[in-house]
Each structure stands twice: as C-alpha cells, then as structure tokens.
Amino acid sequence: MTNDVMVIGEHFQGALSQITLELLGKARELAGQLDGKVEAVLLGHGVEPLAAELGAADRLSIADHPLLEHFVPETYEAVIAQRIKQAGPRLVLLGSTSVGLDLIGPLSVRAAVPCFDNCTSLQVREGRVVAISQLYGGKIFAEYAVPETTALVAVVPGSFPAEPGKAAGAPEVLRLAAPPAPRTTFRKLIEPPPGDVDVSKVPLLVAVGRGIQNADNIPLAEELAETLGGAVCASRPVIDQGWLPLTRQVGKSGVTVKPKLYLALGISGAPEHVEGMKQSELIIAVNTDAKAPIFGLAHYGAVADAVEIIPLLTEQIRAASG
Amino acid sequence: MKIAVLIKQVPDLVEGLEIDASGKALDQDSLRYIISEADDHALEQALLIRERTGASVDVFALDVGEARDSLTTALAKGAERVTLVAAGLEAAPGSHALAELFAGVLRPQNFDLILTGVRAIDDLDGSLGGLLAGLLELPYVGLIRKVETGPGGETAIVQKEFPGGFITELEVKLPAVLGIQSAEQPPRYVPVSRLRQVMKTAKIGEQAVEPPQAQPIAVERLFKPEEGAGASMLEGTPEELAKQIAGLLAERHLLKG
Ligand SMILES: Cc1cc2nc3c(=O)[nH]c(=O)nc-3n(C[C@H](O)[C@H](O)[C@H](O)COP(=O)(O)OP(=O)(O)OC[C@H]3O[C@@H](n4cnc5c(N)ncnc54)[C@H](O)[C@@H]3O)c2cc1C
C-alpha cells in the first residue's frame, strides 16, 4: 500500500462536478500530511478537456471509452476496482452522490477494502486518518479511525471547500484499460420537464417538508410565497407524495439553492436535504421538534406548528408590504 | 419472475435518540424501531411489478427491533412469503455484516430481482444493496425511482436519479440487485382492520443463520450536534412568531413595497 489519496472524479453533461474539486482540495491536504501523492481518476468518453481542471492532482488516470460515456455503475466500478488494486492507495475519496453511492458497495467487495459513507470530516491525527460521518438524519455524528489499509470514503457534497481543489498543475497522465462488456446498458437521459420555475434562481424560497401534513396545506404555502414574491420548494417526502413536482425538490437528488431567504417549514434538516440549501444567506426554520437538526443550521428558529404559522405570516407580510 | 425484498429496522427519529454510557453506541432502551423508509419504497415497487407481471414477492428481514411487525405488514400489503432471518443479534449490525447474512440466505434461492432501499439512516459502512450485489456478483444500480421489466422478463428497465431533476434510464440484465430511492407511487397504506385480520393467520417463516464474520466498525465516539449552536430561537405565541419573522425579513429589505 502507498500513502496516496485517490479521488474518483465526476462530471455531468460535459462539466466537472463541484464535488470533485472539493475532494481534490481535501486530498491535497491529506496527502501532504500522509506524505503521499494525489491521484485523480476520470472515466468517460471525450473527457480529455476536463483534465485541465484537475491540476491539483499529481497523477491523472483516464479511461476514455464509448462504453463510459454515461454513468453505468458496473462498467465504472470494474475500471476503478482494477486501478485501486494496481495502485493500492491509502484512501479513495468518492462523492456521496448518485455516482459514488452506486460504486462504494461493489468496489468494497471487489477490491476487498472497507468503505464508509456520509463522511463530513477527514483529518490526519498522529498518523491516523480520523473521520466523522453524519447518521440518523443528522441527529448523531460518529467519529472513527479509517483502518490502515486501503479504504473507500464517500463524502457528503459541500463538506469541504472547492477552492483548494482548483490549483493549477501538470499531472502525469496514465491511461486505464477499456471496460469489459457490461450487463447494464444506458438507454437514455431524461431531462427535467421545461416550463416550471427554476428554484435555484429564485431569491426568496418557502420550503415545505413532511411537517406540512397534507396536500391541502400546499396552497397556503403557495400563497405565502406569492405574497413574498418568491416560490415554493420542498423536501423529498413532499415530492414523493406527489404534492409538488420533482423540479421543486431541494437536496442531494434535487437542486442546490443559495437564496437570500430559505424559510424551512416542517423540514427536519436531514443531511440529504441540507446539502442542497446550507449556503442560503438567511435560513429561518419552523418546526414542532426543538431538537430538529435544521435548528443547528438555521439563523433563526421557532418551535411551532408550521401549518398555523403560514397564514399568520402571509397576513403579516401583506400588512408590512402595504 | 421471483422478487426478493430486503427490509431493515431503523430507529424512529420521532423519538429522541440517546447515546449509551460507552459513548460509542445508541442506548437501545431509548429506541423505537420502524421499517427504513427507502425499504418501504422497495416493497411498494416490488408489489407494483407483481401487479403488472404476476411476479412473486418474498420479503426478508433480520430479526432485530420490530422486524416481525414489519413482516406482518408486508404480508397484509400482499407479499407471498415473509422470512425472519435469525442470527441471534441484539442490535442491527453494520452493512457488511448484513450483506454477508443476506448473501448466504439468498444465494441458493435464485431470485431474478433483489430490491432494497438505497440507503438507511444508520448506514455507516456503505449500504446493503451494493455490498450484496458485490458478494453475489450481480449488477447493482441505486437511487432508483422506477422499475419496469423488459421483454421476456430478462431485464429490468430502471430510472436512476441525478441532481437537478435529471434521470437516466438503464437496462439491467437479470438477476440483479436494485437500490430503490422512491417507488413509482407512495407506499400503500394498510387499514388496521386488514392488519388485525392478517395478524391472526400470518405465517412468518424463520431461518436461523450463523452470526456474521464481518467485524463491526470501531466507532470511537458518537455525539450530537452542539446544543445551542445555530439558530437564535424566537419565542412567543404563533401570532407573535409570525410578526417577528416578518420583522426579520423587513429589516433585511426582503419585503416588497
Ligand atoms: C440517496 C438519498 C437522496 C436523498 N435526496 C434528498 C433530496 O434531494 N432532498 C430531500 O429533501 N431529501 C432527500 N433524501 C431524503 C432525506 O434523507 C430525508 O428523508 C428527507 O429530507 C426528510 O424530509 P422532511 O424533513 O420533510 O421529513 P422528516 O424528516 O420526516 O421531518 C419532518 C419534520 O417536520 C416536523 N413537523 C411535524 N409536524 C410539524 C408541524 N405541524 N409544524 C412544523 N413542523 C412539523 C417534524 O418535527 C420533523 O422535524 C434523500 C435520501 C437518500 C437516501
């Protein structure tokens, strides 16, 4: 095993994902402390242009093949497992994302290495790599030492700054072998339906969660949003119930927003939701549970029934807006 | 087509979670267990496939928490068979251990499709689906929101979620393991009367297995987010709270007019 830190790169529709820069920056820091090198691994088809953005790595392993054009878990996993076995890095960092989450399990088994998910902190302390993962919907953190073998760690997007990952450089380039014929094939990409508001561009957001209780209360939230001159967005359960369209979902599998105001109504603050809204300028949360993790993140909070507060707030805002 | 659904018990977050005296585990007495939300979606997705194709649905759960209740509910929803996997464990083991146990149970049974929730709230060492697929050497796809069967039941056509509302459609040769994020419709509701009726006749199969070999993760410390860090809390009646929130927005010039 080496002391190297490997980063599994991600890209979507021709653009490098933010998480990859966040991981590269962290990898630089860790590799410095462990006295190892940073290796970025990039899989795709026609991905060469993205290499220019991976200057923070010492080494860049590229697999470029038509079968890798779209993310097909099995195909990606086979190529990466091979590279991990060959290179034997101390750490392999992935995003806890739609890509990384499909890879860590099969990779952990195939490369016979441990894996950890939901990581939000990684540090070297006295030669040990100590990590923290967020569990139980953000209510509990677990601290553990990453075993001193090769280990896979999936990191929650937004946990580390992207800036340190943007360093310029000229990494040595390695070519990885073409993948085997997969049992999984890509059929098509389905784009979000056009026409709905893009909540990532709306400065004032009224966000509703399961605490909104039922579909009948959605119009109340819409009225509040309209009075504010903003829009309604939601956590996953609200979308799953079909109360609002998928385009309104904020979080890991939804959109990432950075509004001037994020009014979180009946949202617990689960990590998968938080990663999509934590950079909001002002977060005000209303929740009946004083221990809801959203209060750890919000600037202002009120322990109250959101369904009761919404119409009262609409009234107040109407009065104040004149 | 034979479908297996794997469901897991997790602490209900509605209850306050307490850390035990060791500081390394949750206090079991403080917990109330429920089915993991994504697993409930996996069961729903399996039942939808069954309704469309006549596939059989078998549900498996490790014997911890209220697994028996969850299996009874699965029967009431329409599963053919349910099996409690007994490994003599007091608390839910890690994902590697769970995958090892289920791999042993499922390997001889030749299921075409194995569905499980993409992730549970207590998953630290990865999630069950991907690890199980690795052990069984089957393909895996996770973060799925829809599953249809392909021609002749040879493949599954799945929709996988990406950020920003993008979805990719993949075709997976069966047998395969799929990690379900959401079923095509919300999990069905079982009326209490139906549940009572099923409870009287429910046949829950049991399969005893050896405890897992996989070592538990050496967690050094559990802790809660710092109390008092974060929000300034507003106090008052609902009317007063609404007034204060409107005031905060006005101060920041976030109101029209
Ligand atoms: C791979 C993966 C991806 C995911 N992606 C996303 C994502 O993109 N976006 C997302 O949001 N989630 C996502 N999730 C789900 C996430 O884990 C949580 O389950 C979800 O965010 C919880 O939504 P919630 O806060 O509305 O519901 P809950 O966690 O159930 O919280 C409801 C809250 O409402 C409060 N409440 C109840 N009644 C009232 C009332 N009357 N007034 C005020 N408060 C009340 C409760 O105290 C509770 O805190 C994902 C999960 C996985 C596994």
ipTM: 0.95
Q: Which of A238, A240, A278 is most worth mutating to test chain B (most B CB atoms within 10 A of its CB)?
A: A240
Protein residue whose Cα sits closest to atom 48 of ligand 1? A268
- A307: in domain: yes
Q: Using CB atoms, which residue from B139, B239, B242 is nearest to A183?
A: B139
DSSP-based three-state secondary structure for A203: coil
* Contact present, A30 and A129 (Cβ < 8 Å): yes
Give me the total of CB pairs closer than 8 Å, taking one residue from chain A and one from chain B: 275
- How much is the pLDDT for B70? 96
Pocket-testing residue among A273, A288, A308, ligand 1, by greatest number of atoms within 8 A of Cβ: A273
Q: Using CB atoms, which residue from B99, B167, B242 is nearest to A309?
A: B242
Condensed to tens digits (0 to 9), the pLDDT of residues A105-145 reads 999 999 999 999 999 999 999 999 999 999 999 999 999 99
Condensed to tens digits (0 to 9), the pLDDT of residues B50-61 reads 999 999 999 999
What confidence category does residue B228 fall into, taking pLDDT thresholds of 50, 70 and 90?
low
- How much is the pLDDT for B256? 80
- A93: in domain: yes
Q: Are A135 and B234 within 8 A, CB to CB?
A: no
| DSSP tag of A180 | P
Condensed to tens digits (0 to 9), the pLDDT of residues B156-196 reads 999 999 999 999 999 999 999 999 999 999 999 999 999 99
How many residues are recorded in chain B?
A: 257
Condensed to tens digits (0 to 9), the pLDDT of residues A203-260 reads 999 999 999 999 999 999 999 999 999 999 999 999 999 999 999 999 999 999 999 9
Condensed to tens digits (0 to 9), the pLDDT of residues B63-72 reads 998 999 999 9
Q: Are B219 and A101 within 8 A, CB to CB?
A: no
CATH number for the domain harbouring residue A24? 3.40.50.620
CATH number for the domain harbouring residue A274? 3.40.50.1220
Condensed to tens digits (0 to 9), the pLDDT of residues A148-194 reads 999 999 999 999 999 999 988 899 999 999 888 889 999 999 999 88
Task: Give domain limits for chain B.
Answer: 2-208
Range of the domain at A47: 5-175
| pLDDT of B253 higher than 70 | yes
- How much is the pLDDT for B99? 98
Domain end point (choices A175, A191, A225): A175
Distance CA(A234)–CA(A249), nearest Å, equals 5
Mean pLDDT, rounded, of chain B: 95
Pocket-testing residue among B181, B241, B245, ligand 1, by greatest number of atoms within 8 A of Cβ: B181
Separation of CA A152 and ligand 1 centre (Å): 27
| pLDDT of B257 higher than 70 | no
Same domain, A162 and A227: no
Spell out the CATH class of B2-208: alpha beta
Residue A38's H or E segment, with its range, is strand A38-44
Helix H, strand E, coil C: the string for chain B is CEEEEEECEEECCCCCCCECCCCCCECHHHCCEEECHHHHHHHHHHHHHHHHHCCEEEEEEECCCCHHHHHHHHHHHCCCEEEEEECCCCCCCCHHHHHHHHHHHHHHHCCCEEEEECCCCCCCCCCHHHHHHHHHCCCEEEEEEEEEECHHHCEEEEEEECHHHCEEEEEEECCEEEEECCCCCCCCCCCHHHHHHHHHHCCEEEEECCCCCCCCCCEEEEECCCCCCCCEEECCCHHHHHHHHHHHHHHCCCCCC
Same domain, A251 and A166: no
Same domain, A210 and A288: yes
- How much is the pLDDT for B230? 85
Protein residue whose Cα sits closest to atom 38 of ligand 1? A211
